[in-house]
Chains A and B, each alone.
Chain A
């Protein structure tokens, strides 16, 4: 391998350039045609779109209730802490998967997340007006059918020149469309 590289250093440099350009072109295409964050994927598109921390991943339950999976609320983390170890591990994995998928939310990874969410007994009586806090311990909880769940990713854009902050939905997947 070393001899091969040493034999034609110019070709080796050209291969390096092609590799960098190929990765950048792939990122360029994905972020232009889909929800991949321009900050990710090796295309040097940092500082061209809102930061990845401006994205949030939401799980929508029947009845109009929604839970922010990422970034998790303090109440969500408290609830996980109070769960049995096996349940806590599953929930922690679910939150981790939500964090991972926010950079490139696709039907594939959102489907996996929804399947994980469909086996959880979610607390009832969530109050979106209170920052989606959880009800008191011992409140009713319920497992929902996969088709009744949906997932969305929102993105906050600060637009000082328009004099406003705006949040938009950049990705959605309903349980009925899970692959």
Chain B
């Protein structure tokens, strides 16, 4: 069966360390083209170093190239510390996770990769969950409700159900604009359809549950086997349906890729395809009409 698989499929399935470095470099390239604060020189050198790591002929050369890539990303994050989105920090942490794995002898690289990926995914989901739980703005449903009112989530889907939704969006935009042209504290009343409030409430709860489930599933990933990866990919698909977070989602996919073992190796090319799709679709601004 393995002989019938395309070479790319085999590459990502059978060489996880090499595949992870290739995916990391692709995501780094996608990240530097997705934002306005990244330092041109640092990211240019970072991507080149990532490319060198992907093409390196020896473990020592790969380690040095990854060290340069991490140095460049760290420099960019440091210079833009309070301006950098979490994407910048996350790609740095992933780069360091790969660097630590690349330092190990060949037999120890994959276990180190799995361990570091589990640490990063666990901390990402856990800290994000805690931050949400302690945020009244999120817990009251106003955060996701606000994004619905901005037209950032399910604009076309809601228009199918609520024919005057586009007009309501214009109304909300005008209300926000009128508040933002003055420096004074002010309040404007808005009427929100009950369906939208219902959706916001369920999305708020659903997001917390989904992150909690991933966190728990991460602890039992060995016992869950392929189910854990199906859950993680399902989480990525659901978040993808709400908002353009393609670069961040591709980082989640890379962590999922690094978490695979021999029993779940068939998921590796699926993760690689997901990363490829997310980055390409993000670069092209492509989103299925129904969820945009």
Where the two chains meet, the residues of A that have a C-beta atom closer than 8 Å to any C-beta of B are 1-2, 5-6, 9-10, 12-13, 16-17, 19-21, 23-24, 28, 36, 38-50, 54, 56, 58, 60, 66, 68, 100, 103-104, 128, 131-132, 152, 154, 156-169
The answer to whether the Cβ of B137 comes within 8 Å of any Cβ in the partner chain is yes
Is B140's CB under 8 angstroms from A161's CB? yes
**A6: chain B residues within 8 A (beta carbon):** 103-105, 108
Is A165's CB under 8 angstroms from B124's CB? no
Is B149's CB under 8 angstroms from A158's CB? yes
A33 CB to nearest chain B CB (Å): 13
**B219: chain A residues within 8 A (beta carbon):** none
Is A167's CB under 8 angstroms from B123's CB? no
Is B131's CB under 8 angstroms from A44's CB? yes
**B137: chain A residues within 8 A (beta carbon):** 48-50, 157
Look across to chain A and name the residue whose beta carbon is closest to the beta carbon of B100.
A12
Look across to chain B and name the residue whose beta carbon is closest to the beta carbon of A154.
B183
Residue of A5, A21, A160 near B200 (CB, 8 A) is A160
**A132: chain B residues within 8 A (beta carbon):** 181
Is A104's CB under 8 angstroms from B185's CB? no
**A48: chain B residues within 8 A (beta carbon):** 131-132, 134-135, 137-138, 143
**A40: chain B residues within 8 A (beta carbon):** 82-85
Is A158's CB under 8 angstroms from B142's CB? yes
Where the two chains meet, the residues of B that have a C-beta atom closer than 8 Å to any C-beta of A are 60, 63, 67, 77, 81-86, 88-89, 93, 96-97, 99-100, 103-105, 108, 111-112, 115-116, 119-120, 123-124, 127-128, 131-132, 134-135, 137-138, 140-146, 148-150, 172, 175-176, 179-192, 196-197, 200, 207
Is A163's CB under 8 angstroms from B176's CB? no
Is B116's CB under 8 angstroms from A2's CB? no
Is B131's CB under 8 angstroms from A160's CB? no
**A166: chain B residues within 8 A (beta carbon):** 179, 185-188
**A28: chain B residues within 8 A (beta carbon):** 131
**A2: chain B residues within 8 A (beta carbon):** 60, 63, 103
Is A36's CB under 8 angstroms from B142's CB? no
Is B149's CB under 8 angstroms from A16's CB? no
How many Å lie between the Cα of A140 and that of B67 in the bound state? 56
Residue of B124, B142, B176, B185 near A44 (CB, 8 A) is B124
Is B128's CB under 8 angstroms from A16's CB? no
Is A43's CB under 8 angstroms from B104's CB? no
B189 CB to nearest chain A CB (Å): 5
Is B179's CB under 8 angstroms from A5's CB? no
Is A23's CB under 8 angstroms from B89's CB? yes
**B146: chain A residues within 8 A (beta carbon):** 50, 157-160
Known: A20-B123, A50-B137. A164 touches B190 (CB 8 A): yes
B219 CB to nearest chain A CB (Å): 15
Is B185's CB under 8 angstroms from A163's CB? no
How many Å lie between the Cα of A54 and that of B146 in the bound state? 11
Is A36's CB under 8 angstroms from B82's CB? yes
**B143: chain A residues within 8 A (beta carbon):** 47-50
Is A156's CB under 8 angstroms from B82's CB? no
